[in-house]
Chains A and B, each alone.
Chain A
């Protein structure tokens, strides 16, 4: 069974204070690892897909990295508008269908001005 654990559950930062969110995963084979952002009262919004260890993707102040056991979402010099819940999800290959996704519980990020 695929499993995803995100840490910390909540993170408070000052504007400009860089940090990282962690996503640890267990799958028998990784098709893809995904990061989403969710604002209060809205549906998740896609950020990145990572497919293999060593891969990195960047978008504005966000950078996602992947190893064989975990992924990090690095936030550089965050701004208050980066405040949101960040969700990690995996799609495995081992005995599961292509369409099955497993999400972590998310990290609630708050950036204070």
Chain B
């Protein structure tokens, strides 16, 4: 089954404790992206990647890191999480030139 998976689905952590949210797709998509969704603010793009070793900032990259060492994986790294990063995070992927993005199920992160 074609899908985007994210892990973990739920995470409660404390300020300053480094964490990684994984994202994996099995559709051989070149493009992958991370978003956060907050009430009243909608979906905002954090980082995206056009292919392996190619990443670029979205609208809200501060406090986040990403890497794209393999085509199927695009982890989101919070090196020193803060409470304002409490949010619902989505990973998405698509073929280049095809704007139909497939979204993962989301990761709900709470930073205390």
A residues whose Cβ falls under 8 Å from a Cβ of B: 32, 34, 41-46, 49, 87, 89, 91, 97-106
**Whole-angstrom CA separation of A1 from B92 in the bound complex:** 22
| B105 lies within 8 A of A49 (CB) | no
Q: List 17 A-B contacts (CB under 8 A).
A: A42-B105, A43-B90, A43-B105, A44-B43, A44-B90, A44-B101, A45-B103, A87-B43, A97-B50, A99-B31, A99-B48, A101-B33, A102-B59, A103-B35, A103-B44, A103-B45, A104-B42
Chain B residue contacts of A42, Cβ below 8 A: 105-106
**Whole-angstrom CA separation of A97 from B106 in the bound complex:** 25
A97 nearest CB neighbor, chain B only: B56
Chain A residue contacts of B90, Cβ below 8 A: 43-44
| A103 lies within 8 A of B106 (CB) | no
| A43 lies within 8 A of B42 (CB) | no
A41 nearest CB neighbor, chain B only: B106
Number of B residues contacting the other chain (C-beta, 8 Å)? 27
Work out how many contacts link A and B, with CB atoms closer than 8 A. Answer: 61
| A34 lies within 8 A of B99 (CB) | yes
Known interface pairs A32-B99, A34-B99; A103-B31 also in contact (CB < 8 Å): no
**Interface hits, B37-71 → A, CB 8 Å:** 40-45, 48-50, 56, 58-59
| A103 lies within 8 A of B33 (CB) | no
Map CB proximity to A onto B74-108 as digits: 1 under 8 Å, 0 otherwise. 00000000000000001010001001111111100
**Interface hits, B1-45 → A, CB 8 Å:** 4, 31, 33, 35, 40-45
| B100 lies within 8 A of A49 (CB) | yes
A88 nearest CB neighbor, chain B only: B42
**Whole-angstrom CA separation of A42 from B103 in the bound complex:** 9
| B40 lies within 8 A of A49 (CB) | no
B58 nearest CB neighbor, chain A only: A100
